[in-house]
Structure 1
Amino acid sequence: METSSPCPVDAVLKLLAGPWTTHVLWVLQTQGALRFGALKRAIPGISSRLLTERLRRLASAGFVAREMVPSVPPQVTYRLTERGRRLGEVLAQLQPIVSEWEAQAASEVEAPLGLP
């Protein structure tokens, strides 16, 4: 993972900003190791090409491990590495903030102009 920015977290945030990236991490964190087909089914709407690209980028950054069992067809399983699990813990800490913001947005829709 390259770090050309003076901000030390830029490289990670740029990686996570890619489409579906956090969703892939979340599924692997909540469901554990999965084969490609099961992972694709767990993320409705993602194309095989994009899932492959996301998995390769996450693997090259050390967040996901790809394990292949030689068979016909080959059995490939993806799982979070220790680095990926640690990142997942940090991302999980955002959930209370996101829930709070969603609740605020919902109350703003219900009470426009700040009226109760």
Structure 2
Amino acid sequence: MEGLMATSARRGPYVCGIDAGMDVVSGKWKSLVLWELNNHGTRRFGELRRGLPGVSEKMLIQHLREMEADGLIHREVYREVPPRVEYSLTEHGTSLNEALRSLGEWGKRRCERLAAEDAPAPAPA
């Protein structure tokens, strides 16, 4: 299969569109950051961290930096005391969130199917 011409700073040439898309959402937290910003709007770092239970500060910082470099989020620094930093979705991030919506719906159906499979069988009459 011939690679696509586009490359990112972190990867070589992409093999297909899925490869390019997965590059920007790789990692457990990126799609959840997109979801959080989409559902709650502009958020400060602490608000994002509270909205994503289990994420470490280090991992969230890393993902936010990568997402900013990929043009998915906008980081606004307010020159105040104490300093305030806010994160919001860019148009590019919003369009990616729309693309991920179908995957989220598929995942919800999968969870329902798995829950049904795990349900105890009815007792014989």
CA RMSD of aligned residues (A): 1.7
Q: CA deviation at 1:43?
A: 1.1
Which of 83, 88, 111 is equivalent to 2:92?
Answer: 83
Alignment of 1:1-116 (within 5 A): 2=8, 4-110=13-119
Q: CA deviation at 1:111?
A: 6.4
Higher relative contact order (CA 8 A, sep 6+): 1
Structure number, greater radius of gyration: 2
Would you say how many aligned residue pairs link Structure 1 and Structure 2? 112
Length-normalised TM-score, structure 2 = 0.80
The structure whose residues are more often helix, as a share, is 1
Q: CA deviation at 1:5?
A: 2.1
Q: Counterparts of 2:25 and 2:92 in 1: how far apart (Å)?
A: 14
Identity percentage of aligned residues: 35
Decide which moves more: 96-105 or 33-42: 96-105
Q: Which runs of 4+ in 1 moved over 4 A?
A: none
Q: Which runs of 5+ in 1 are unaligned?
A: none
Q: Counterparts of 2:98 and 2:78 in 1: how far apart (Å)?
A: 29
Q: Which runs of 5+ in 2 are unaligned?
A: 1-6
C-alpha spacing 1:96/1:19, structure 2 compared with 1 (3 Å)? closer
